[in-house]
């Protein structure tokens, strides 16, 4: 801060990204073409040019036309390499096909679908989110490939990983062909699960701890003497056939203790509270104890299962975000 | 047990930066290097081949997992051996060969420590220079083809370095070849258009092996050449037809001193021989491509008047000979205008000193011949009569043969009075001696005579076997006149070439070197024609040829014109590339009926109707008809046709659909 | 055959006033040998539709009200010990019928739901280790209350996939509601109705659905649609191959009802919501997939 040079740099970068944004508007699916692909020789490419100069001087000095022709062929190959590097990547369609939610601090996996329409497909394609790890992909023509590209998440909420870098040095490694794509990609980031004291449970919902039994479920619980009026379908015919007497099969459903993750049950700062809830939600899910969530404005009834867990985690991830980032819908 | 999903560790692929080389890439490098080095090994000291073999086999053993990579000691040792070898072979010498040797050393040793793609890339870069140095040693079409093959391997190998999926070797070669193929057009344009510069700095002299005859002529010298079919030079005439064979005397050197056995060039003692100007007649323009022969002299017909070459290093001597400033070490091309005849309005005079020089003979040699010549002079015969007498003598009693008997000390005497069998140098030598003995100025000229006309490319091929010697005699009022005593003995030798002039046993001798089968001869002619074209258009394509070609092709060589053409060609190339890009998209193959409908949609868009993406054609037309009922019949017809084609597989209707859309909105 | 189909439609239309599209979809579903899921509030005429269809087609009709204590045996049947003969005798459940109306299927426990859905999928039930074939044709019309109420078990995605179509009848238009008030009781009308087709004729109609042709252009369109659901960011997951096949099958029946032997994109679009609506899920947690399917229909180019 305050350093004029760094201010300058930031201003420059912002300008550059604005310019990029104009060139590559924010959508969930982008096809690479000459408008968004850039090519430039890399260090090896410059070395190659030096080699050409050496060979050209050899040919000129010895007045050797064949060596000169070789130098010209190499220049020509350089041009062809630019075109081939461009063709290698042109026509690739990159589609953001969703992101798996992750816990804060973990890398979030963004699923990208890549399709190359060129006859030769695309070789040696590198993909990377800013600051992320590079992944190498080979594409065959018209065969969509799905990859998971990871970006590090920091805090709960929505993670927008920034511009996606796609680059390739194929075929000769002397030309870099690259693009930054502004994909409309975001991943839901759950709070980081951090162990805390177990949330206290309100007695207000009237159910006693330890759970209750409820008749009429579909788990067989035992036999009892037949009483007139019992449904005929519940009669234990096997026992009757064994002449043991007339019995009625009894069914019941088991309701175990329900746990509530209540906003008021923990006294911690907001994020720490959510982290604690997150930890306990996972814990209850593993222990198969139904749990519900009660945040200001949101109530999720106690239940179990992956879907419920996700609903709870999602609600916590979206809870009271500083500035809501809603998914932009690509309609045009 | 499966962990719950939040406890599963997400596997993150490691960054790909310095990946190690896969085995198949190493195999490619090995093969590439072998092929590239192979032609160089013939031109370099043997120990270099050994050094390469050691490092290559070490690498192969590493490849097979038998040996480990060379340690520091082994590497230093190998380097030391190479450095020692370099010193031994080229101590203090900075010749081209030394340079190439050093390069081969580096290339070989580098292979041992190639680990990463970056190293391999470096190896590829050296490979390019190695390929270029192949061409330093040989520039035949075969060498160029091999060089192209090297490039193919290099590029396929290079591309393989960056390949991330399996590909068969043939496919790799194919794709590498495609890169070269795509590059060829631009290369051709660059080769033809880019201006040539002269040498940037003085290069150490290349020693070329001396071929052909030397600067002295003793009996038997040319006889050896007669068996050598190698080309000496090739000539194309501006008017496309060569002069008759009896005028095809390619003068090379003039030998004017006789030491009793050999004719030699004497020091220049005032060679301003023919003073006074002559009228040059029967001018003939031709250009010669001379194979390097390691001598400074060049060849021309009769009296050269003017000569041009790219290096401007040729001068015409007082003896009407062409001389290069330095020995011809590389194939050169020069253009000459010669006069086949010259007339002297005033008689040319020979200075007394010169006359003395051209009639001088060693006092003790060949007394018999000397006596004969002096006796003729004593008979008060005129110069012409003496010459006729001498020619008649040869004509009467002498035989032309490639196998003359060996001659003793007084070679001319022995030849004239005893063996009477000989080859052109015997005749020229003895004839000159005889005339000198009679006091007539005479000298021996050595060069080539005749040549083989190549009808395929219209040029004259002169071989080493066409080497010839004849005599020039000073005739008062006419200057130096050419007289070929061999013609008096074996006129066929002059008119039809050597094989006609020889007897059976000689022919056998020649045939072993020369092919006489007609098919083979034809092939030979064609092959030589190809060589000639290669030399003219590739090897000797210089600034002058370039100018001529560009003027012919583009109408001039002004820089604006060249720029315009280059831009045009560039645009054309870009267009072709764009077209290839479009053509390559298989998924963009649009059905014909959809193409037709797209045209209709364009028309409708001008009327303000636009089909939404998800709108079917029926719905779209329905929408139009609400506001434009006048199109009802047409649109219904089009819709019906489209449905028939697209959904009822009645492709036959396509013409009717296209017709209907063409006529819309009628 | 065409006159037969149109007379069936005419008959049903007279009972279910102003529900042409839904009636046609239900018929298409039946002709395509698929099962139908109706999502509606009570009293919208679900039972009437099912009953009416069964009557017109001359099929045996059963109705089961699903409740939370309904057991699989209540639907499939039980083996009861006959004391006189000393053997178990199988008492078939209501599933042994031709048109089964499973009312409020989401009220019963998943166990019972899956028992029915297995029967739907296999065309047979296995009780006490013995397989019993269901009559043919076997057509399930299940209804579901869309409002999530307590004590319900919504059908999981894997089960929803077993239904070829999901439709919603909705409130009638004022005009047809007026006619409903003025006319006779629909139940009485159904009672008066006579079967219009024999079971052989129905089998022939079902057979001819397979003969409806789909051209390459049309298959391209279907593939574009399917690909869109798999790549578009608004879809949580895309359409399965089974879903794509169902789309084709439903569209073919639709084309047949409209007297065509080939498919046009309009057929696909007509059945798109009914076939695809319950097989996809959007990004948000909303149950209503209609906007999503509309987005799908509007975004995919019909012509290519």
> In the predicted model, is pLDDT for residue B498 greater than 70?
no
Task: Give CA–CA dist C242/C164, Å, rounded.
Answer: 10
Of residues A324 and C217, which shows the higher confidence score? C217
Q: How many CB atoms lie within 10 A of CB A243?
A: 6
Q: Tell whether C148 is within 8 A of chain A (Cβ).
A: no
Interface size A-C, in CB pairs within 8 Å, comes to 45
- Phi-psi category of residue B459: left, alpha or beta, with phi > 0 → left and psi -120 to 50 → alpha: beta
| Long-range contacts, stretch B98-103, CB < 8 angstroms, 24+ apart | B99/B133, B100/B40, B100/B43, B100/B44, B100/B133, B100/B136, B101/B44, B101/B45, B101/B48, B103/B129, B103/B130, B103/B133
Task: Give CA–CA dist B233/B227, Å, rounded.
Answer: 16
- C285–A311: do the CB atoms touch at under 8 Å? yes
Whether residue C304 is contained in a domain is answered as no
Which residue of B135, B150, B155, B176 to mutate against A (max A Cβ within 10 Å)? B135
pLDDT at residue A22 in the model: 62
Measured CA distances, A194 to B9, B216, B370, C14 (Å)? 17, 105, 126, 64
Its domain, for residue C237, covers: 211-299
For B537-563, the pLDDT digits (tens) are: 888 787 777 888 888 887 777 778 888
Of residues C124 and A242, which shows the higher confidence score? C124
Residues C148, C36 share a domain: yes
Q: How many CB atoms lie within 10 A of CB C287?
A: 13
Low-confidence winner among A236-245, B173-182, B517-526, C249-258 (lowest mean pLDDT): A236-245
Q: Which two tokens stand for residue B420?
A: 């009477």
Task: Give CA–CA dist B97/B146, Å, rounded.
Answer: 20
pLDDT at residue B10 in the model: 39
CA B122 to chain centre: 30
Residues in B closer than 8 angstroms to C228, CB to CB, are: none
Whether residue C280 is contained in a domain is answered as yes
How big is chain C by its Cα radius of gyration, in Å? Answer: 20
Which residue of A218, A238, A302 to mutate against C (max C Cβ within 10 Å)? A218
Q: Which two tokens stand for residue B163?
A: 């390949």
Residue ranges covered by each domain of chain B: 23-193, 216-511, 554-583, 590-663
CA nearest to C237, candidates C222, C247, C246, C226: C226
CA distance A190 to chain B (A): 10
Residues C252, C172 share a domain: no
Q: Tell whether B623 is within 8 A of chain C (Cβ).
A: no
Residues in A closer than 8 angstroms to C231, CB to CB, are: 29, 95, 97, 113, 144
For B400-417, the pLDDT digits (tens) are: 877 777 777 788 888 888
Nearest chain C Cα to B650, which residue?
A: C215
* Pick from A97, A240, A311: CB nearest C231: A97
Q: Which two tokens stand for residue B614?
A: 């998800």
CA distance B15 to chain A (A): 5
- C300–B594: do the CB atoms touch at under 8 Å? no
* Pick from A61, A118, A172: CB nearest B162: A172
Domain boundary among C166, C189, C206: C206
Asked if A100 and A123 count as a contact pair (C-beta separation under 8 A), the reply is no
Of residues A235 and C220, which shows the higher confidence score? C220
Residues in C closer than 8 angstroms to A230, CB to CB, are: none
CA distance A10 to chain C (A): 32
CA C132 to chain centre: 23
> In the predicted model, is pLDDT for residue B585 greater than 90?
no
CA distance A98 to chain B (A): 17
Measured CA distances, B436 to B44, B97, B410, B638 (Å)? 51, 49, 16, 107
Which residue of A65, A122, A283, A313 to mutate against B (max B Cβ within 10 Å)? A65
* Pick from C68, C112, C295: CB nearest A216: C68
Q: Tell whether B602 is within 8 A of chain C (Cβ).
A: no
> In the predicted model, is pLDDT for residue A323 greater than 60?
no
Q: Rounded mean pLDDT of chain B?
A: 81
pLDDT at residue C29 in the model: 93
Q: Which two tokens stand for residue B489?
A: 């003995």
Whether residue C284 is contained in a domain is answered as yes
CATH number, residue C174: 3.40.50.300
Low-confidence winner among A130-139, A273-282, B3-12, C200-209 (lowest mean pLDDT): B3-12
pLDDT at residue A56 in the model: 93
Nearest chain A Cα to B127, which residue?
A: A51
Nearest chain B Cα to C265, which residue?
A: B616
Residues C30, C101 share a domain: yes
Residues C250, C111 share a domain: no
* Pick from B16, B184, B201: CB nearest A136: B16
Q: What's the order of all strands across the beta sheet hosting A157-159?
A: A102-103, A187-190, A157-159
Residue that has been written with the tokens 């040539």 in this structure: B196
Residues C173, C113 share a domain: yes
CA nearest to C292, candidates C274, C280, C302, C304: C280
For C72-102, the pLDDT digits (tens) are: 888 888 888 777 877 888 888 888 988 898 8
pLDDT at residue A3 in the model: 62
Residues C141, C33 share a domain: yes
Residues C169, C223 share a domain: no
Residues in B closer than 8 angstroms to A171, CB to CB, are: 159, 162, 175, 179
For C197-245, the pLDDT digits (tens) are: 888 888 899 999 999 999 988 998 998 899 888 877 678 778 888 899 9
Whether residue C278 is contained in a domain is answered as yes
Taking an 8 Å Cβ-Cβ cutoff, which residues of chain A contact chain C? 28-29, 95-98, 113, 144, 184, 216-218, 232-233, 237, 240-241, 251, 311, 314, 327, 329-331
Nearest chain C Cα to B587, which residue?
A: C304
DSSP-based three-state secondary structure for A4: helix
**Mean pLDDT within B446-450:** 88
Asked if C75 and C109 count as a contact pair (C-beta separation under 8 A), the reply is no
Whether residue C105 is contained in a domain is answered as yes
Whether residue C82 is contained in a domain is answered as yes
Given pLDDT bands bounded at 50, 70 and 90, which one contains residue B154? very high
Q: How many CB atoms lie within 10 A of CB B557?
A: 16
CA distance C40 to chain A (A): 24
Task: Give CA–CA dist C290/C277, Å, rounded.
Answer: 7
Low-confidence winner among A183-197, A214-228, C24-38 (lowest mean pLDDT): A214-228
Q: Tell whether C241 is within 8 A of chain B (Cβ).
A: no
Q: Which two tokens stand for residue B665?
A: 């909105």
Q: How many domains does chain C have?
A: 2
Q: Tell whether C269 is within 8 A of chain B (Cβ).
A: yes
Domain boundary among C184, C206, C228: C206
Chains with at least 3 CB pairs less than 8 angstroms from chain A: B, C
- Phi-psi category of residue A198: left, alpha or beta, with phi > 0 → left and psi -120 to 50 → alpha: beta
Residues in C closer than 8 angstroms to B618, CB to CB, are: 264, 266
Q: Buried b vs exposed e over A256-277: b needs ≥16 C-beta within 10 Å?
A: ebbbbbbbebbeeeeeebbbbb
Residues C230, C190 share a domain: no
Task: Give CA–CA dist C63/B360, Å, rounded.
Answer: 142
> In the predicted model, is pLDDT for residue B14 greater than 60?
no
Nearest chain A Cα to B178, which residue?
A: A80
A12-16, A256-260, C10-14: which is most confident: C10-14
Residues C243, C202 share a domain: no
* Pick from C264, C269, C304: CB nearest B647: C264
pLDDT at residue B275 in the model: 54
Given pLDDT bands bounded at 50, 70 and 90, which one contains residue B497? low
* Pick from B594, B597, B649: CB nearest C215: B649
Residues in A closer than 8 angstroms to B191, CB to CB, are: 65, 68-69, 72
Asked if C19 and C167 count as a contact pair (C-beta separation under 8 A), the reply is no
pLDDT at residue A45 in the model: 93
Nearest chain A Cα to B587, which residue?
A: A117
Given pLDDT bands bounded at 50, 70 and 90, which one contains residue B586? very low
Residues in A closer than 8 angstroms to C112, CB to CB, are: 218
CA distance A58 to chain C (A): 56
Query: Which residues of B participate in catalysis according to the annotation?
Result: 424, 468, 484
**Mean pLDDT within A128-133:** 86
Put simply, the chain A residues between 284 and 323 with a CB less than 8 A from any chain B CB are 285-286
For B90-149, the pLDDT digits (tens) are: 776 667 788 888 888 888 888 888 888 888 999 999 999 999 999 988 888 899 999 999
CA distance C112 to chain A (A): 9
Task: Give CA–CA dist C131/B331, Å, rounded.
Answer: 98
Domain boundary among C180, C206, C232: C206
């Amino acid at each position: 801060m305050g350093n004029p040079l760094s201010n300058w740099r930031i201003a420059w970068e912002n300008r550059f990204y604005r310019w990029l944004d104009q060139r590559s508007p924010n959508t969930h699916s982008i096809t690479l073409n000459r408008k968004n692909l850039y090519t430039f020789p890399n260090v090896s490419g410059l070395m190659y040019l030096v080699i050409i100069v050496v060979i050209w001087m050899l040919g000129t000095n010895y007045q050797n036309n064949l060596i000169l022709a070789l130098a010209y062929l190499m220049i020509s190959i350089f041009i062809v390499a630019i075109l081939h590097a461009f063709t290698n990547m042109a026509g690739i369609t990159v589609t953001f096909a969703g992101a798996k939610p992750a816990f804060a601090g973990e890398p979030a996996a963004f699923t990208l679908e890549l399709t190359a329409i060129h006859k030769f497909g695309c070789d040696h394609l590198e993909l990377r989110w800013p600051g992320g790890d590079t992944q190498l992909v080979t594409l065959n023509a018209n065969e969509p490939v799905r990859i998971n590209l990871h970006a590090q998440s920091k805090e709960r909420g929505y993670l927008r990983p920034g511009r996606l870098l796609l680059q390739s040095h194929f075929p000769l490694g002397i030309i870099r062909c690259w693009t930054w794509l502004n994909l409309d990609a975001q991943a839901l980031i759950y709070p980081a699960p951090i162990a805390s004291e177990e949330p206290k449970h309100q007695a207000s919902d009237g159910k006693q701890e330890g759970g209750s039994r409820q008749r009429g479920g579909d788990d067989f619980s035992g036999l009892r003497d037949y009483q007139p009026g019992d449904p005929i379908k519940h009669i234990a015919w096997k026992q009757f056939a064994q002449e043991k007497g007339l019995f009625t099969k009894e069914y019941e459903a088991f309701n175990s203790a329900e746990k509530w993750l209540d906003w008021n049950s923990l006294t911690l700062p907001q994020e720490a509270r959510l982290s604690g809830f997150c930890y306990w939600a996972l814990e209850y899910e593993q222990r198969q104890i139904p749990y519900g969530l009660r945040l200001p404005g949101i109530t999720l009834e106690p239940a179990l299962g992956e879907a419920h867990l996700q609903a709870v985690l999602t609600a916590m991830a979206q809870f009271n975000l500083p500035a809501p980032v809603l998914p932009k819908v690509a309609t045009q | 047990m499966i962990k719950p999903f939040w406890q599963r560790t997400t596997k993150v692929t490691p960054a790909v930066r310095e990946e190690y080389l896969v085995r198949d890439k190493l195999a490619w490098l090995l093969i590439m290097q072998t092929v590239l080095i192979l032609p160089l090994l013939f031109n370099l000291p043997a120990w270099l081949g050994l050094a390469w073999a050691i490092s290559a086999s070490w690498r192969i053993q590493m490849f097979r997992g038998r040996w480990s990579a060379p340690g520091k000691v082994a590497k230093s040792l190998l380097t030391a051996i190479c450095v020692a070898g370099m010193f031994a072979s080229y101590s203090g010498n900075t010749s081209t060969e030394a340079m190439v040797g050093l390069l081969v050393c580096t290339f070989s040793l580098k292979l041992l420590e190639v680990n990463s793609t970056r190293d391999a890339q470096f190896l590829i870069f050296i490979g390019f220079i190695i390929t270029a140095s192949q061409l330093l040693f040989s520039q035949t079409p075969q060498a160029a083809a091999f060089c192209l093959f090297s490039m193919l391997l290099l590029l396929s190998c290079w591309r393989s370095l960056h390949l991330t999926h399996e590909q068969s070797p043939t496919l790799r070669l194919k794709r590498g070849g495609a890169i070269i193929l795509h590059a060829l057009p631009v290369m051709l344009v660059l080769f033809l258009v880019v201006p040539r510069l002269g040498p940037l700095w003085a290069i150490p002299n290349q020693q070329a092996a001396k071929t052909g005859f030397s600067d002295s002529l003793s009996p038997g010298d040319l006889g050896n050449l007669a068996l050598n079919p190698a080309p000496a030079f090739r000539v194309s005439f501006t008017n496309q037809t060569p002069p008759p064979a009896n005028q095809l005397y390619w003068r090379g050197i003039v030998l004017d001193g006789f030491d009793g056995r050999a004719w030699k060039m004497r020091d220049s003692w005032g060679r301003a021989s023919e003073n006074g100007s002559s009228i040059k007649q029967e001018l003939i323009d031709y250009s010669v491509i001379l194979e390097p022969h390691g001598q400074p002299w060049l060849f021309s017909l009769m009296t050269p008047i003017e000569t041009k070459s790219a290096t401007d290093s040729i001068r015409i001597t007082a003896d009407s000979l062409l001389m290069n400033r330095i020995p011809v070490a590389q194939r050169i091309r020069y253009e000459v205008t010669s006069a086949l005849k010259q007339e002297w309005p005033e008689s040319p005079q020979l200075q007394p000193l010169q006359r003395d020089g051209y009639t001088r003979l060693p006092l003790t040699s060949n007394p018999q011949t000397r006596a004969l010549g002096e006796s003729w002079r004593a008979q008060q015969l005129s110069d012409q009569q003496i010459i006729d007498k001498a020619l008649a003598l040869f004509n009467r009693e002498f035989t032309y043969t490639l196998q003359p008997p060996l001659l003793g000390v007084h070679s001319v005497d022995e030849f004239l009075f005893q063996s009477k069998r000989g080859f052109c140098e015997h005749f020229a030598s003895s004839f000159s001696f005889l005339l000198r003995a009679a006091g007539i100025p005479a000298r021996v000229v050595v060069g080539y005579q005749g040549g083989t006309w190549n009808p395929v490319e219209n040029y004259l091929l002169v071989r080493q076997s066409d080497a010839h010697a004849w005599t020039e005699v000073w005739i008062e009022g006419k200057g130096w006149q050419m007289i070929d005593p061999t013609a008096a003995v074996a006129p066929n030798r002059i008119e039809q070439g050597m094989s006609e002039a020889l007897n059976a046993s000689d022919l056998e001798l020649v045939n072993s070197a020369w092919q006489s089968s007609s098919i083979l001869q034809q092939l030979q002619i064609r092959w030589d024609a190809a060589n000639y074209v290669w030399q003219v258009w590739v090897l000797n394509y210089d600034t002058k040829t370039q100018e001529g070609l560009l003027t012919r092709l583009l109408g001039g060589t002004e820089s604006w014109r060249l720029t315009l053409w280059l831009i045009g060609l560039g645009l054309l190339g870009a267009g072709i590339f764009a077209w290839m890009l479009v053509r390559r998209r298989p998924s963009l193959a649009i059905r014909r009926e959809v193409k037709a409908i797209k045209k209709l949609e364009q028309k409708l868009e001008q009327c303000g109707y636009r089909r939404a993406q998800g709108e079917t054609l029926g719905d779209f037309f329905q929408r139009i008809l609400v506001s434009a009922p006048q199109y009802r019949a047409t649109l219904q017809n089009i819709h019906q046709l489209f449905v028939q084609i697209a959904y009822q597989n009645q492709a036959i209707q396509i013409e009717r659909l296209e017709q209907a859309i063409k006529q819309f909105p009628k | 055959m065409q006159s037969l189909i149109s007379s069936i439609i005419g008959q049903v239309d007279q009972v279910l006033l102003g529900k042409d599209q839904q009636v046609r979809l239900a018929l298409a579903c039946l002709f395509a040998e698929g099962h139908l899921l109706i999502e509606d509030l009570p009293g919208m005429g679900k039972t009437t539709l099912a009953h009416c269809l069964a009557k017109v087609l001359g099929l045996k009709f059963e109705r089961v009200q699903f409740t939370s204590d309904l057991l699989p045996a209540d639907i499939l049947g039980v083996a009861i010990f006959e004391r006189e003969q000393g053997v178990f005798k199988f008492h078939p459940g209501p599933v042994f019928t031709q048109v089964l109306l499973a009312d409020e299927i989401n009220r019963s426990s998943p166990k019972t739901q899956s028992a029915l859905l297995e029967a739907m999928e296999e065309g047979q039930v296995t009780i006490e280790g013995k397989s019993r074939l269901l009559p043919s044709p076997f057509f399930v019309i299940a209804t579901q209350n869309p409002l999530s109420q307590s004590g319900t078990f919504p059908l999981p995605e894997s089960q929803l996939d077993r239904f070829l179509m999901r439709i919603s009848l909705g409130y009638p238009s004022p005009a047809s509601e007026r006619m409903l008030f003025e006319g006779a009781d629909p139940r009485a009308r159904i009672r008066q109705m006579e079967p219009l087709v024999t079971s052989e004729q129905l089998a022939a109609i079902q057979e001819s659905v397979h003969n409806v042709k789909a051209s390459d252009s049309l298959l391209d369109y279907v593939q574009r649609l399917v690909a869109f659901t798999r790549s578009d960011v608004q879809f949580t997951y895309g359409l399965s191959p089974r879903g794509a096949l169902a789309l084709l099958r439903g569209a073919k029946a639709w084309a047949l009802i409209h007297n065509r032997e080939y498919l046009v994109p309009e057929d696909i679009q007509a059945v798109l919501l009914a076939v695809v609506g319950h097989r996809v899920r959007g990004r948000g947690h909303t149950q209503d997939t209609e906007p999503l399917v509309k987005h799908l229909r509007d975004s995919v180019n019909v012509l290519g």
